[in-house]
């Protein structure tokens, strides 16, 4: 299968910031990364610059960004900023799915299954989650 080299908005000026964010992941981001996405059959990157933003997790194959939102994301000004951010990322052909920290803490398996279903539906695959 040929690689897709279309522009994805990678901003190398945010490289240092994304490295710092990888080192300082929240407990919820760590849980999702180390207990699901790191070994998921479809490759994900952590803290990936896209345009002037850094998404929590990104799969170039599935063209999907997974965001884990803390309580600050539910304040009015941040809701507006997140809407603009999502609109920009969507304009590059990348889907954004969001989960709250609470979702990760209370329904981790459900979050993993939702991510898996979204990717498999998009790519026309059988479930990749929890397979051997």
In this structure, of 22-26, 36-40, 93-97, the range with the lowest mean pLDDT score is 22-26
**Which domain, by its residues, includes 65?**
12-123
Cβ neighbours of residue 4 under 8 Å, at least 6 residues apart? 60
How confident is the prediction for the chain on average, in pLDDT? 86
Q: Is 131 part of any domain? A: no
- What CATH number does the domain containing 80 carry? 3.40.960.10
- Which burial class, exposed, middle or buried, applies to 114 when counting CB atoms under 10 A from its CB (0-12, 13-18, 19+)? middle
Number of domains composing the chain: 1
Task: Report the pLDDT value the prediction gives residue 128, as an integer from 0 to 100.
Answer: 76
Q: Is 7 part of any domain? A: no
pLDDT band for position 20 (50/70/90)? confident
pLDDT band for position 2 (50/70/90)? very low
pLDDT above 80: residue 40: yes
pLDDT band for position 74 (50/70/90)? low
Q: Please give the torsion angle defined by the CA atoms of residues 75, 46, 64 and 124, in that order, rounded to the nearest 10 degrees.
A: -140
pTM of the model: 0.83
- What sign results for the dihedral spanned by CA atoms 125, 101, 95, 52? negative
Decide if 64 contacts 58 (C-beta within 8 A). yes
Helix (H/G/I), strand (E/B), else coil: 100: strand
- Which burial class, exposed, middle or buried, applies to 24 when counting CB atoms under 10 A from its CB (0-12, 13-18, 19+)? exposed
Q: What is the pLDDT of residues 78-94, one digit of tens each?
A: 678 889 999 999 999 99
């Amino acid at each position: 299968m040929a690689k897709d080299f279309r522009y994805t908005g990678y901003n190398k000026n945010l490289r240092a910031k994304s490295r710092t964010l990888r080192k300082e992941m929240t407990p919820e981001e760590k849980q999702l990364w180390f207990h699901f996405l790191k070994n998921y059959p479809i490759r994900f990157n952590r803290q990936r610059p896209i345009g002037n933003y850094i998404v929590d997790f990104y799969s170039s194959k599935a063209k999907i960004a997974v965001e884990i939102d803390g309580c600050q994301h539910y304040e009015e000004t941040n809701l507006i900023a997140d809407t603009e951010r999502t609109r920009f990322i969507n304009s590059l052909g990348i889907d954004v799915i969001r989960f709250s920290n609470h979702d990760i803490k209370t329904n981790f398996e459900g979050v993993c299954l939702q991510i898996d279903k979204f990717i498999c539906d998009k790519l026309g695959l059988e479930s990749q989650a929890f397979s051997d």
